[in-house]
Amino acid sequence: MALDKKRCMPSKQLGNDNPALALGDVLDRRYRVISYLGAGTSGQVYLCRDNARADSRVAVKVLSKDLAARPFARAEFLREFLIGSRLDHPNLLHYFDTVRQSDLTAFSMEYVGGGNLALLIKKRTPISIREKVRILMEISRGLGALHKLHVIHHDLKPANILLSNRKEVKVSDFGISRFRGQPPDEASDARIGTPQYISPEYLTDGVVTPLSDIYALGLMAYELITGKPAFVGKTAVETIQLRFKTTPVEPHRVVDDCPRMLSKAVLKAMSLDPVARPQTPAEFENMLHDCMRPFWVSATATPATRVDA
């Protein structure tokens, strides 16, 4: 297979500017800014009080003004809201309303205060293998709900897995998601995905299916369980190429408390051949459940049950 090096290149940061709003600013006569949460590729996120929701805390995402002038960037930003507002699942981030203010393009969404999976892995916070698998099962459930609506996430990575203070999972960021069968958008295709988590079939042929999300889920599972990525090169391109040339060390050989069956399930999700992967998030969730059965049985309460694919 020929590797498309254009698809290996890292995405550009499009909107990492200084905070445009100040503490106490009120948006759309309802959202009062109480803190600045940070910036992403498309804009800035603020923690606000929403007086239309009993003064509850919400996150408001604001598109950078320079991007608001670019039609494809604005469409991509609003696509996140349009897709997110259709979702209703405990493991998917909830999206609320667009912000009606002429000088801003923005929307409100659920505030999740426990950071994200990338930070959890980076901090090397000690958590049990049972807890790691619970997190992975919740990601699988959220992804399964997304796929049932025929939506492919297409940028599944640890930074997009938000965690509550109790480490409950919320899959987020649907800005470059696409509906199954939707043709590529050439304008946004140049920055689709994150090199470390893009599927082999997209890299070689530009093909995106729900199984591409399964591959990214496998890579995240490997990273969460072992504490390090499956493939690490000196450059983004080299990191991508390693997955075609090498086989990662089995997770149970990296961490002592990882069952062999769990290693097998994770590496199956990371298969280069889409047909060899679990075919649905529910199938992967069931594999996780089965390989951890002794842990579930020994617990006072079973945290999950098998689900139908």
CA distance 280 to 196: 21
Neighbours of 12 (CB within 10 A): 9
Q: How far is CA 57 from CA 104, 105, 278, in A?
A: 20, 20, 38
Write the single-letter amino acid at 279. Q
Among candidate residues 155, 189, 205, 308, the one labeled active-site is 155
Based on the number of CB atoms within 10 Å of its own CB, is 193 exposed (0-12), middle (13-18) or buried (19 or more)? buried
Task: Assess whether 155 carries a catalytic annotation.
Answer: yes
* DSSP bridge partners of 43: 63
Task: Give 6's contacts (C-beta < 8 A, 6+ positions apart).
Answer: 190
Please give the positions annotated as active site. 155
